[in-house]
Amino acid sequence: MITFEGVTKRYPDGTVALDDVSLECPTGRITVFVGTSGGGKTTALRTINRMVEPTAGRVLIDGGDVRERKPAELRRGIGYVIQHAGLFPHRTIEDNIATVPYLLRWNKKKARAAAHELMERVGLDPSMARRYPFQLSGGQQQRVGVARALAADPPIMLMDEPFSAVDPVVRAELQDEFLRLQAELHKTIVFVTHDIDEAIKLGDRVAVFQTGGKLVQVDAPEDLLAHPADDFVAGFIGQNRGIRTLGFAETGGLRLSGDAVFAASADAADAAGLDWVLVVDADRRPLGWARPADETGPLAEARLAPVGATFRAGADSVRVALDAAVLSPAGLAVGVDEAGAVVGTAGGADLLAVPTHGPAHHRADRAADRPAGAPEPADAPAKGGAGD
């Protein structure tokens, strides 16, 4: 657990980078600091490993003041990833990754073995071990940066806009792998970004910073979307707040209907009276949409409109399902199981009837929104499917 207690950073010229910030970053969770530039989020992150010394207040790691430890020694126990990776151009990939093990005086063999193992962990081909950073793409360099931070297996990781400098496709990939990695490693992570979508996607808790170094709200992402503390947060979250809230609603409890699903062997006449029907093959895989009114004979010979998008029932969020409904010519979302077989369809109204979980906030009681006292996010992870 990382604890900020009234941390203020004021520079000699009078600029306030952090203004009395109190907050907790729970152990084993991802806490995202998000905000406008000049909001102090990077400064806040850098007070944790003493790259910035606060003017007032203190930062505690598991109850111990960071100032009681020598900066270099403290930092060797905290993973550090920055934008543009900051790799050492003169070192090979394996030696970049082994930086902290070398500082900790591991022997070379052990340090390199750890480096190779981490390369695989972060999705890098170990044959790249002897290459130099200039021979890698931006995305690969960023993976090396993450591997380097993980090399000595620190319990805490500080990540300062690690995925900001790569293109959106690579960024999404890196984010997904980062979440997969965190599910295995359970590090205590502080992650800085200016991208609210990234914050919502990655954060177990999201801390919103406002210009002038003020912390305005700390909450689970779904609560942040549902109940922004003020106009600044609402404005920062931006458009489509409601739709994005649906990203946290599960499709597990959704009732899917089989009424509009027909096998290809069925006759168009069987579906008479329906506007659109979904035609599926013998394995119940979707083939396309047909209009029974325009067809005669078996549906296998019908003219089919493309299925469009589907959603994995129980695994995907209501937002994905709603997206699939909008893209379908019938206005129905097609739910499939892991094998890709159709479970059933749901209309827009069915989807919107799913309750968004997340604890209700007492808007009148603003004191409850105070960052340090904010409730922990719900502990039970979402389990897809009905189980066996």
Partner 1 sequence: MNDVWNQIRLSWTWLTASAQWHGDDGIPHRLLQHVIYSGVSLACAAVIGLALGLLVGHTGRGGFVVVSLANLARAIPTFGLVVYVVLVHYSITAALIALVALAVPPILVNTYEGLRGVDADAKDAASGMGMTGWGVLWRAEVPMALPLILLGLRTSAIQVVATATIVAYPGFGGLGRYIIDGLARNDYQLVVGGTVLVVLLALIVQIVFAALRRLVVSPGLLGTARSS
Q: Smaller CB distance to partner 1: residue 58 or 91? A: 91
Q: How far is 299 from 100, CA to CA, in rounded Å?
A: 64
Determine if 82 is a binding residue for partner 1 (CB under 8 A). yes
Q: Which residues of 41-53 are buried (b: 16+ CB within 10 A; e: fewer)?
A: bbbbbbbbbbebe
Stretch that binds partner 1, among 125-133, 280-288, 296-304, 372-380 (CB under 8 A): 125-133
Residue 312 to residue 324: CA distance in whole angstroms: 11
How many residues sit close enough to partner 1 to count as binding (CB under 8 A)? 34
The distance of closest approach from Cβ of residue 186 to partner 1 in the complex, given in angstroms and rounded to an integer, is: 21
Site membership for partner 1, residue 137 (CB under 8 A): no
Q: Output b/e per residue, 348-360; b: 16+ Cβ within 10 A.
A: eebbeebebebee
Select the residue interacting with partner 1 from 116, 131, 214, 284 (CB under 8 A): 131
**Residue that is written with structure tokens 């996607």 in the block:** 201
Indicate whether 90 belongs to the interface with partner 1 (CB under 8 A).
yes
> Is 143 among the residues that bind partner 1 (CB under 8 A)?
no
Torsion of CA 338, 340, 343, 346, to 10 degrees: 100
Closest CB 90 distance from partner 1, rounded Å: 4
For residue 67, which amino acid is it? Answer: R
The distance of closest approach from Cβ of residue 89 to partner 1 in the complex, given in angstroms and rounded to an integer, is 5
Among 38, 86, 298, 329, binds partner 1 (CB under 8 A): 86
Place of tokens 């193992």: 117
Residue 191, interface with partner 1 (CB under 8 A)? no
Tokens representing 257? 């209907």
Rule CB under 8 A: say whether 51 interacts with partner 1.
yes
Q: Which residues bind partner 1 (CB under 8 A)?
A: 49, 51, 71-77, 80, 82-92, 99-100, 103, 130-135, 145, 148-149, 158
